[in-house]
A = this chain, B = another copy of it.
């Protein structure tokens, strides 16, 4: 490593931090005030980053929105709205996963995506990006749920039940946009967890040895 590179590293970190702060602020603004009200000025005021710096990172609204999509995907495991497949002790696995997925789709992540989704309708290129993002994210959530529930998706009904978990969560997410629908959502999560108990699960013994350590625990 040269001296120049050495000296540049902290500056790159700061630049990365600023970028993430802009994206996080934009995401929150989209979820809370909607597409039209999410302007550079609003993001500047809310984030404390200057309009000039925002425009340096994201020259256009399109670039900013592409950045938000990428940021959502990257932060899906680390954000407060990640779907955690490690079930806390004493908590029912099905209750926990149903609640996590339904909660995820009522988060600012989903609400921001929905704002983009409806705004993109007249814009084929942005629409295409959003669909790719949506498919990639849905696939990641699906895989997470399958792993957490040790689901045997070679069984068609089991596959459909997990797919339905995602579509149902999306529907409940829409219901939460204009009001706090969490009370109803919590009771739906309990109900849906009890429906999910009828899926077919993989026999843990049948898993390859190398996967054993990270495999979901058998249900109690």
B-binding residues in A (CB < 8 A): 32-37, 114-115, 117-122, 127, 130-131, 134, 157, 160, 163-164, 166-175, 177-179, 188, 191-192, 195
Contacts and interface: CB of A to CB of B under 8 A. Distances in A.
B33 A122 contact: yes
Contact of A37 (B122, B160, B167): B122
A191 B167 CA distance: 13
Q: Which of A32, A114, A167 gathers most chain B CB within 10 Å?
A: A167
Contact of A171 (B115, B160, B166, B179): B166
B175 A118 contact: no
B127 A178 contact: yes
SS class, residues of chain A in contact with chain B: helix
Contact of A33 (B33, B37, B121): B121
16 contacts: A33-B121, A33-B122, A34-B121, A34-B122, A35-B119, A37-B122, A117-B178, A130-B178, A131-B178, A157-B191, A167-B168, A167-B172, A168-B168, A169-B171, A170-B174, A174-B174
Contacts of A37: 122
Nearest to A164: B168
A198 to B, nearest CB: 10
Given A118-B34, A119-B34, A170-B170, A191 B175 contact: no
A180 to B, nearest CB: 12
Given A127-B178, A157-B191, A188-B164, A119 B36 contact: yes
Given A114-B118, A170-B172, 9 more contacts: A32-B121, A33-B122, A34-B118, A117-B177, A121-B177, A130-B178, A160-B191, A164-B188, A169-B171
